[in-house]
Amino acid sequence: MTLLDIHGQNQFEARVNIEVFIKQSYELRDYNVLISHGYGKFILKKLLDEILKTNKYVEDSKFAPPSLGGAGVTWVIIKHKKKT
């Protein structure tokens, strides 16, 4: 699975990188991706949740399994791109 690591980014940087990453994943038909936000105070996780709820390319999201980072990583399921 493709991984985006947003550790250490401010909220503006993280928002831009998340939105670009999700759109690129959709375009490349990469339907299962990971976004690593870390644990800490979950500031980036909260931002990520806000973005995922409204992003038109996102089907679903959940914490990654422990082997892939658990609560410090979000597994994002991208909507399938319609064939043209």
**pLDDT tens per residue across span 42-83:** 899 999 999 999 999 999 999 999 999 999 999 999 999 887
Q: What is the pLDDT of residues 27-43, one digit of tens each?
A: 999 999 999 999 888 89
pTM over 0.85: yes
Return the domain boundaries, the chain: 2-78
Cβ atoms 2, 36 nearer than 8 A = no
- CATH level 3 topology of 2-78: Ribosomal Protein S8; Chain: A, domain 1 (3.30.1370)
pLDDT at position 82 is 83
Measured distance CA(10)–CA(74) in Å, rounded: 18
